[in-house]
Chain A
């Protein structure tokens, strides 16, 4: 029996490919397997090839694999585009309807199954995906009942008869496939899952839940790929918590509205992708200058300009670290898994409140849209810390005197009060200002206030700024990354180990201010530092050099073709660097 299975379904966009993957993977999740799914899609509504690849495993997984065991094809294009991923033992389950053909150099077995025909006989061709799931069940030696609860939930409201029909479609597909497979039945049978109930969700849902758990009751946002799921999830949930989502006219309004709400004392945020973040740059400066907490999620996608809107990239890093004119203190956090996306989003809100500055949660398309099993969130780990926000009664001050909202303090953080509070009146402006918030261009005041604002960065309290897995005291290679590349890095380390290459792994979660302390010893005790990232110019590598030096040790390993790093591919590239890279 196997420990891992790679399954993919493909067809034309808009013909139920997504729901096929959804039903299959939800059932697998309920059996207690670990899953990681990644969708290939285009920026169009109907038509165009789409596929959904799902990694099913008996242990933790944070990536899709390079190869493929089972390919479910609803059109010839799916076979053409994907057959090269199939292992020699792989199987194609193809709908007889399109008269599938196997490419000459394809060594996988092709099974032609009348998906559409069986579905039509049962009442509607729409059920062809259920027939395909039944066929998959035969290959995996699964009992059809594992799909019952999922089918109930999806079709229950349409009545018992529809549920029955869909289960029948699964059974028929299973039967038909049993006949075709003969002694190959159960070829891809997996070791049983552990039966534990994990959450199967995309990163954007983890971020949205994190925001909700952090007490955000207002989100202002403008739709964009790959961030929209955050606002879509929250508009369904926030009304139950007394809050709402406002879809604004543009991203400038989204960011400035969130600033207004935070100024008012609520926890508000926005989320977007590269083009939206470009529009928000001036607002980030306002939040920095007026010391207004602001959380902004950037789900990176392929840039520049419209770039590759539905593809993976990590090329916004520099813009997020240094974007906005002038200089402001800012915190940039980059989660790498669903769990981190949830907890780090909560941390982002706390840091924004504690330090009164903008915090960027830097996600990427693979993390935001990749669907993965996540351990249930631990309620006891949720804390809300609003820092020096004081919404109690304030001590009386003389009439016409302003509250010292920007009082110069040792840690740079001043007491924050909000409009509506008696004795709290002060001014807020993007112009350089004095302790009361009144404009002041005096040289001395300018320096004092700049220093005060930047002092705050010495007080960032972030749990686990660097994820480290460093079993080797002296490593030949330190692998470094951020965001969703973590999964591929985790996969290649045992492979490198098997080849005698001792590696350590550091995945940076708090990118700014850079965790120099945490990284120092790891870099010192590595011969080479290979920085793996989805961009062309090696942005993270440059950030590390800027903060740590070690230019001679640091090697770039980049990918910017719009696709995520796959483990075998990455393994090959690391080996290539080690043998031929003059490093």
Chain B
């Protein structure tokens, strides 16, 4: 029997006390245990930033890459070993600023991995600059007169990019967050999960209390249909993106790897890669 304790390692996180990322880490550990995944069958790939350290705090395979590039690394890993459970994690700077291109295209590509964003609306590790998720008017070290640009809307971006799984949660709601990550990991395709994970040091606006006051749980909306993309978009827009739960899921769309013609059923990393002499001869014939 696997428990979340199996996913604990001996490294002490360097996050500030009270940081939302602790709960995200716990939720990932619980979700993996609930799905009865053993630690060596899980790989967590993370970007750079406070959240980027997460891959080093879980007793599983982990890769802490470069800023904004967790997703292509995670996709490559899944392409090499389709049997592996792959989770990519990062912050809002990682996923929505420097890595935004990869976020959109990963969503479109629909490779079967789970992406968990720890969204704190601020750059924490660099000690408090604005993020694409900071609200207009938000005062930071890099926006002393208040942010001029409007806040990016990740759920709307995901929904309009062809996502097959879009969810959002709040780090204090460990039960809901765990269930959502589990659902994302079960989803056959790319699952996009945005998590409000407050920064207690640099973001004095979007605090735990602020989220508690402003969030609407989709489970409280009667008859909400998470298979209807138009309804999902409408609901998200009506609530200024401040909803939690599974916002949209399309279970009919096959994942990228299922669509590749001729692609190995077996993980590529186990394939016999030595070409046969007759195969080489066949390939050479075309050039004569």
Contact = CB atoms under 8 A, between A and B. Distances in A.
Interface of A: 29-30, 197-201, 205, 209, 212-218, 220, 237-244, 246, 248-250, 252-254, 256-268, 282-283, 285-286, 290, 374, 376-377, 379, 382, 384, 391, 400, 402, 418-431, 438-439
A239 B261 contact: yes
A198 B285 CA distance: 9
A286 B79 CA distance: 19
Contacts of B279: 241
B80 A260 contact: yes
What's the dominant secondary structure at chain A's contact region?
mixed
Given A259-B73, A400-B9, A420 B83 contact: yes
A426 B263 contact: no
Contact of A257 (B59, B76, B268, B273): B76
Nearest to B55: A427
B190 to A, nearest CB: 14
B268 A256 contact: no
B254 to A, nearest CB: 15
Contacts of A199: 284, 287-288
A293 to B, nearest CB: 12
A266 B82 CA distance: 11
Contact of A256 (B66, B260, B277, B283): B66
A285 B66 CA distance: 9
A256 B39 contact: no
Given A239-B263, A261-B80, A266-B268, 19 more contacts: A198-B288, A199-B287, A199-B288, A237-B283, A240-B262, A244-B263, A248-B105, A253-B72, A260-B45, A260-B73, A263-B77, A264-B80, A264-B269, A283-B69, A384-B273, A400-B10, A402-B9, A420-B43, A428-B61
B49 interface: no
5 contacts: A218-B79, A246-B109, A266-B80, A420-B83, A427-B63
B80 A262 contact: yes
A261 B76 contact: yes
A438 B264 CA distance: 33
Contact of A253 (B80, B105, B277, B283): B105
Nearest to A267: B273
B263 to A, nearest CB: 6
B64 interface: yes
B77 A264 contact: yes
Contact of A220 (B62, B76, B280): B76
A431 B80 contact: no
B119 to A, nearest CB: 22
B62 A427 contact: yes
A246 B256 CA distance: 10
A458 B287 CA distance: 38
Given A265-B81, A439-B56, A242 B271 contact: yes
Contacts of A384: 273-274
A248 B38 CA distance: 31
A249 B71 CA distance: 12
Contacts of B283: 209, 212, 237
B275 to A, nearest CB: 5
Contacts of A213: 275, 280
B273 A217 contact: yes
Nearest to B67: A282
A197 B269 contact: no
A420 B40 contact: yes
A212 B260 CA distance: 18
B274 A215 contact: yes
Contacts of A220: 72, 76
A201 B10 CA distance: 55
Given A205-B287, A243-B264, A425 B39 contact: yes
Pick the most buried of B59, B66, B80, B109: most chain A CB atoms within 10 A of its CB.
Answer: B80
Contacts of B284: 199, 209, 376-377
B8 to A, nearest CB: 8
B271 A429 contact: no
Contact of A268 (B61, B66, B80): B80
A426 B61 contact: yes
B64 A431 contact: yes
A564 to B, nearest CB: 22
Nearest to A264: B80
A257 B66 contact: no
A344 to B, nearest CB: 17
Contacts of A427: 55-56, 62-64
A251 B175 CA distance: 39
B165 to A, nearest CB: 20
A260 B72 contact: yes
A199 B287 CA distance: 5
A253 B69 contact: yes
Given A249-B101, A427-B56, A266 B65 contact: no
A264 B102 CA distance: 20
Closest 5 A/B residue pairs (Cβ): A260-B76, A215-B273, A264-B80, A239-B262, A265-B269
Nearest to A253: B72
Contacts of A217: 264, 268, 271, 273
B66 A419 contact: no
B64 A379 contact: no
A267 B275 CA distance: 13
Contact of A382 (B63, B101, B275): B275
A374 B260 CA distance: 33
A240 B38 CA distance: 33
B77 A438 contact: no
A290 to B, nearest CB: 7
A266 B64 contact: no
B102 A253 contact: yes
B283 to A, nearest CB: 6
Contact of B81 (A198, A250, A264, A429): A264
Contact of A423 (B8, B40, B84, B268): B40
Interface string B94-115: 0000000110110001000000
Contacts of A248: 72, 105
B129 interface: no
A109 to B, nearest CB: 34
B249 interface: no
A210 to B, nearest CB: 11
A262 to B, nearest CB: 7
